[in-house]
Amino acid sequence: MSGLAATHAGDRPSASARVLNMVAVVDRERLEEIEARLARVGRYHPSVSIICAVGPEDTSVDAHAVVAGSPDALGQSYEQVTIDVAVDHLTHLDTIVDPILVSGLTTLVWAPHGYPEAVDSLLRLAQVVLLDSTAEPDIAASLARVSELAERAYVVDLAWLRSTPWRERVAFTFDPAEWRPELEHISSVQVRHAADSAVAALLLVGWLASRLGWTPEVLARDDGGRLSGRARADDRDVDVTLEPIAALDVPGLAGVTLETDDGMSMSLDRASGGLAATRKTPDGHTYTWTVLGASRGEGGILGEGVRQALLRDPTYRPAVAAARAMLP
């Protein structure tokens, strides 16, 4: 359901195409950072944003509203309401937010700085939860929380969205008819990831396992944080290795390598301007190329997260279940 509201952003007329409420619960001292991140999402900006800024010393509620226009030629605008709240308000935040929401629209909840009690309160009003499963250092706790929330709302995970170009390229590699049989011969999967993004690597392997019918087994962790083990396919074992890369200073994946038992392999590695791809064929030939523009950057990832609130990805929850089965 949507509606159009004519308004003015600055001295120029604009139209607000109302399709999505976003409720963000953030630390007060990081409010400007969140506003800057939202400003960078461009056309995917939620049409109504309610930002609940939590001040640990506050005891009362205060609010102000802004109607702002985008700089593009479409003249779109969005509405933002900022509410100053105290920690004590979080368990009943739904009663504060409810009167401000535009009824009939999908409502998305995002709490990038924690505050699970606020998210739990707002689930009465929301259909979608936006989160980043890499934000919680305890991977088991992070994926357990994802599974819990997924029983009550649709979950959009930024860690999952960061791997979209990698998953798309892996799928594309095996899409031609002559390569599709190689899916039945995959013998090893190696995923290289940022030190704080092991959950993203687990989700990628979980995606492969759930799509290809593998049975994942518990992985072992060594002193360097490397996870290794196997998944069981119908007639073979698939070796699984998740390798942290200390030099990678952005969240997400650094590289993926798949090998088959008949000598075929394909690798993707993060590179300037996109992903560096290498394919080795069973007859010994090697092909290399660059997948241009594969990364959206963090601003693009948040915008994609907002867009995904209006879509549905059926592959995420099975990937989470398989990832949880591999946890040491």
Whole-model pTM? 0.88
155 sits in the region (left: phi over 0; alpha: psi -120 to 50; else beta) called beta
User: Domain tally for the chain?
Assistant: 2
Q: Is residue 136 one of the residues assigned to a domain? A: no
Helix (H) or strand (E) holding 243: strand 237-245
From 100, 126, 152, the end of a domain falls on 126
Residues 188 and 308 in one domain: yes
Choosing from 126, 148, 180, the residue where a domain stops is: 126
State the sign of the Cα–Cα–Cα–Cα dihedral 323, 146, 310, 294. Answer: negative
Each residue's pLDDT, cut to its tens digit, for the chain (328 residues) gives 233 233 334 444 444 555 889 999 999 999 999 988 888 887 777 778 899 999 877 666 776 666 665 545 444 567 888 999 999 999 999 999 999 998 889 999 999 999 999 999 999 999 999 999 999 999 999 999 999 999 999 999 999 999 999 999 999 988 989 889 999 999 999 999 999 999 999 999 999 999 999 999 999 999 999 999 999 998 899 999 999 999 888 899 999 999 999 899 999 999 887 899 999 988 889 999 988 866 666 667 898 999 999 999 999 999 999 999 999 9
Among the three residues 67, 99, 126, which one is the final residue of a domain in this structure?
126
Q: What CATH number is given to the structural domain containing 286?
A: 3.30.360.10
Is there a single domain that holds both residue 117 and residue 202? no
- pLDDT, position 145: 97
Coil, strand or helix at 174? coil
Q: Are residues 256 and 175 in the same domain?
A: yes
191 and 241 both lie in a single domain: yes
99 and 23 housed in the same domain: yes
Please state the φ and ψ torsions of residue 45, each to the nearest 5 degrees.
-60, 130
Separation of alpha carbons 9 and 21, rounded Å: 19
- Which residues in 109-140 are b (16+ Cβ under 10 Å) and which e? bbbbbebeebbbbbbebbebbbbbbbbbeebe
Whether residue 46 lies inside any domain: the answer is yes
Alpha helices, DSSP H only, in 78-162?
93-97, 116-122, 139-150, 158-162
Q: Is residue 22 part of a domain?
A: yes
Q: For residue 46, which of 105, 113, 6 has the smallest C-alpha distance?
A: 105
Neighbours of 51 (CB within 10 A): 20
**The predicted structure's pLDDT at residue 9:** 42
Q: Indicate whether 110 and 247 sit together in one domain.
A: no
Tens of pLDDT along 63-75?
Answer: 666 666 554 544 4
In this structure, is residue 295 part of a structural domain?
yes
Residue 76: give the domain boundaries.
3-126
15 and 59 housed in the same domain: yes
Which strands form 62-69's sheet, in the order they lie side by side? 62-69, 77-85, 48-54, 20-27, 106-110, 128-131, 154-157
Task: Check whether residue 60 and residue 112 sit in a common domain.
Answer: yes
Residue 11 lies in a domain: yes
Same domain, 120 and 168: no
Residue 25: Cβ within 10 Å count: 28
Phi, psi dihedrals of residue 3, rounded to the nearest 5°: -150, 165
* Residue 177 and residue 274 share a domain: yes
Examine residue 140 and state whether it is found in any structural domain, yes or no. Answer: no
Assess whether 178 and 312 both reside in one domain: yes
Please, what is the end-to-end C-alpha distance for the chain in angstroms?
44
Tell me the C-alpha distance between 159 and 145, whole Å: 14
Write the pLDDT tens digit of every residue in 124-148: 999 999 999 999 999 999 999 999 9
Report helix, strand or coil for 229: strand
Q: Do both 166 and 112 map to the same domain?
A: no
What pLDDT digit, counting tens, does each position of 79-125 carry? 888 999 999 999 999 999 999 998 889 999 999 999 999 999 999 99
Q: Is residue 61 part of a domain?
A: yes
Please provide the DSSP assignment of 267-316 as one string: EEEEETTEEEEEEE-TTS-EEEEEEET---HHHHHHHHHHHHTTS--TTH
Kindly state whether residue 133 falls inside one of the protein's structural domains.
Answer: no
